[in-house]
A and B are shown apart, each in its own frame.
Chain A
């Protein structure tokens, strides 16, 4: 069960190798979380992640999950919920794609959309149903600031996150009053191992900062969390910039 501060005792991370997912799991283990389920494609990286969390004292198990095969979600995720209560589901899977290549190869663009959006819709609905049946829990959805407004540099990824974001908002409204909280997290540019070589951008953040924001959001029962928080103001201004001007902005 979650405690008065919204800290869960059991956690399911979809996208078990995600840096934000693992940073959040570490943060939560230092609070109340004792059981962690890492769902992802079976790989040595997933096992390493599990071992790392186990070393922190949590009971960790991995389970095979692939966003690209939505027909399997009911069996794998539904099966897990049938066995035990999950207080919090963190949807942290997703691929950034390669904008230039994806524009050339529509099929690889479709893969981005299928992973980030279609996979999330099916996994999200399965989890939401199970959380509703157990009468409590939090579904935390990692969206992105890229979904707020299309940018020339990453609109394929951005559009998939925009779809996911809208889906999660609607799901949150649908679950109003059921004891289930849906929280949309919109981080800016996340500085991590994957993005190590990329140039610095303003208002960038780290997996640890995102994890902190998630913990605070759980305590406040927030519906939307921006990381860093100042992005909320920046994005509400940028949203209204006329397109001809927006195209020329160095964002």
Chain B
């Protein structure tokens, strides 16, 4: 097991801290690393795609799980797969797509590990119909603070604390996940434009559209009558007969495109108000008013940003802050007010996505709840951003909504309790399961989780 001291940040590249990094290659090594962690505890880390400080542990140890990456196999019908926690969704897709299977839920990047996906209980564009990742987990192996490895199944308190528990109940070692059948590796995509926020919300609400995957890119820099204009995309896994003849011979091929990486040094402020307003305008006008049945590769439909390695560097040295909140159905006024405030303030949100959530998931700290979710990324160097986001937090909390912990790097501990009503249970379970504080992260210290 290799051990070194490294400075780490989340994908947003803010608030670096230093920890001892262990890289276990077997479960035994993982047990040894957890048992041998010092007074500042340890936390599991996957591919570092959490935007904030969830997988950092200042002055303690971090277990880099990426070397634990065996896919142990699928069941006879291929409807479930059992794999180590360090397997990335990218590798999982490569392995199961040829069998005509697909992960039930994928976030906007394939470069998350299975363990990370469970610990953050990630959601995808199909949250409304499929729930989030943990809903499809049949069982998982959890290494707890006492050094034991337990098999945890849905419906138990430990499972609900672990799903979305940000790695604080233990180290997930492996999991068995249900897969969904697909006929091809292409998506059949419908694109439409919404002229303003009300139009967009009406389209997102419209019944009859029970599309599997729905999301809307929203131009938050548009003002006046076009405030909230957006491009809405819905996708379905394309059936075999939708493919052109030449593609039908290899329907399940998985070939993601990859562009050159962003250089290590990018000047600050590249994505400022003017450039982002220009890009957003272009992007809106370039989108078709209405188009159906366009075939897109899985990689470009779900994971457009994965094609650009190290895209997080475009914000420069100061990094960026990702903000995602959800407010319940019936809180449309809050959503309108927040979108209005963001566009009035001219926040250069290059990538902003509005979506709808369905049923909540059982995880105590799981993010989704039925309602509206808005995600945006902003340069951390933007003056006054800290105070502005605090104000948004208050609006969200007052409306009974919450912000997403896997993306957070700046929430106030006081606000957290108002957003997650089952936080007290989570804390109580942790106190019982891990009285010595073997599992800690910068996130848990910052928010007193």
Q: Check A136–B446 contact: CB distance below 8 A.
A: no
B251 at the interface (CB under 8 A from A): no
B79 at the interface (CB under 8 A from A): no
Q: Which of B98-106, B134-142, B378-386 is near enough to bind chain A? A: B378-386
> What residues on A are CB-neighbors of B52 within 8 Å?
4
Give the complex CA separation of A174 and B289 in angstroms. 57
Known: A3-B409, A4-B409, A221-B318. A179 touches B386 (CB 8 A): no
Lowest 7 CB-CB distances: which A-B pairs, in order?
A: A135-B59, A135-B58, A179-B18, A4-B409, A4-B14, A1-B446, A136-B58
Give the complex CA separation of A219 and B15 in angstroms. 9
How many Å from the CB of A79 to the closest CB on chain B? Answer: 16
Chain A window 114-156, contacts with chain B (Cβ cutoff 8 Å), 1 for yes, 0 for no: 0000000000000000001111100000000000000000000
Chain B window 318-349, contacts with chain A (Cβ cutoff 8 Å), 1 for yes, 0 for no: 11010000000000000000000000000000
Majority secondary structure, A binding face? loop
Quick one: which of A3, A179, A221 contacts B446, CB cutoff 8 A? A3
B151 at the interface (CB under 8 A from A): no
| Interchain Cβ contacts within 8 Å, total number | 72
Give the complex CA separation of A31 and B381 in angstroms. 16
> What residues on A are CB-neighbors of B446 within 8 Å?
1, 3, 9
How many Å from the CB of A88 to the closest CB on chain B? Answer: 12
Q: Check A136–B442 contact: CB distance below 8 A.
A: yes
- Can you report 18 residue pairs joining A to B where beta carbons are below 8 Å apart? A3-B410, A4-B14, A4-B321, A5-B380, A6-B15, A85-B445, A134-B40, A134-B59, A135-B19, A135-B60, A136-B15, A136-B17, A136-B58, A177-B7, A177-B18, A179-B7, A179-B17, A220-B318
A178 at the interface (CB under 8 A from B): yes
Give the complex CA separation of A161 and B385 in angstroms. 34
> What residues on B are CB-neighbors of A4 within 8 Å?
12, 14-15, 52, 319, 321, 380, 409-410
Q: Check B317–A221 contact: CB distance below 8 A.
A: yes
How many Å from the CB of B411 to the closest CB on chain A? Answer: 8
Chain B window 1-37, contacts with chain A (Cβ cutoff 8 Å), 1 for yes, 0 for no: 0000001000010111111000000000000000000
B412 at the interface (CB under 8 A from A): yes
How many Å from the CB of A43 to the closest CB on chain B? Answer: 33
A7 at the interface (CB under 8 A from B): yes
Majority secondary structure, B binding face? loop
> What residues on A are CB-neighbors of B410 within 8 Å?
3-5
Give the complex CA separation of A3 and B60 in angstroms. 18
B160 at the interface (CB under 8 A from A): no
B53 at the interface (CB under 8 A from A): yes
Q: Which of A75-134 contact B (CB under 8 A)?
A: 85, 132-134
| Known contacts A4-B319, A135-B60, A179-B18; 13 further A-B pairs (Cβ under 8 A) | A1-B442, A3-B446, A4-B410, A5-B380, A5-B385, A134-B40, A135-B19, A135-B57, A136-B18, A136-B58, A136-B442, A177-B18, A221-B318
Q: Check A7–B18 contact: CB distance below 8 A.
A: no
Quick one: which of A134, A178, A219 contacts B381, CB cutoff 8 A? A219
> What residues on A are CB-neighbors of B40 within 8 Å?
134-135
Q: Which of B40-75 contact A (CB under 8 A)?
A: 40, 52-53, 57-60
Interface residues on A, range: 20 to 34
> What residues on B are CB-neighbors of A2 within 8 Å?
15
Counting chain B CB atoms within 10 Å of each CB, the highest count among A7, A178, A179 belongs to A179
> What residues on A are CB-neighbors of B19 within 8 Å?
135
Q: Check B380–A133 contact: CB distance below 8 A.
A: no
A61 at the interface (CB under 8 A from B): no
> What residues on B are CB-neighbors of A9 within 8 Å?
446
Q: Check A219–B59 contact: CB distance below 8 A.
A: no
Residue of B nearest to A177 (CB): B7
Known: A178-B18, A220-B381, A221-B317. A5 touches B59 (CB 8 A): no
A191 at the interface (CB under 8 A from B): no
A26 at the interface (CB under 8 A from B): no
Q: Check A32–B412 contact: CB distance below 8 A.
A: yes
> What residues on B are CB-neighbors of A180 within 8 Å?
18
Q: Check B386–A5 contact: CB distance below 8 A.
A: yes
Q: Check A1–B7 contact: CB distance below 8 A.
A: no
> What residues on B are CB-neighbors of A6 within 8 Å?
15
Chain A window 27-44, contacts with chain B (Cβ cutoff 8 Å), 1 for yes, 0 for no: 000011000000000000
Give the complex CA separation of A4 and B57 in angstroms. 15
> What residues on B are CB-neighbors of A177 within 8 Å?
7, 18
Q: Which of B363-389 contact A (CB under 8 A)?
A: 380-381, 385-387
> What residues on B are CB-neighbors of A136 within 8 Å?
15-18, 58-59, 442
How many Å from the CB of A96 to the closest CB on chain B? Answer: 33
Chain A window 175-206, contacts with chain B (Cβ cutoff 8 Å), 1 for yes, 0 for no: 00111100000000000000000000000000
Give the complex CA separation of A85 and B448 in angstroms. 13
> What residues on A are CB-neighbors of B387 within 8 Å?
31
> What residues on B are CB-neighbors of A1 within 8 Å?
15, 17, 53, 58, 442, 445-446
> What residues on A are CB-neighbors of B16 within 8 Å?
136, 179
Q: Check A178–B7 contact: CB distance below 8 A.
A: yes
> What residues on B are CB-neighbors of A7 within 8 Å?
386
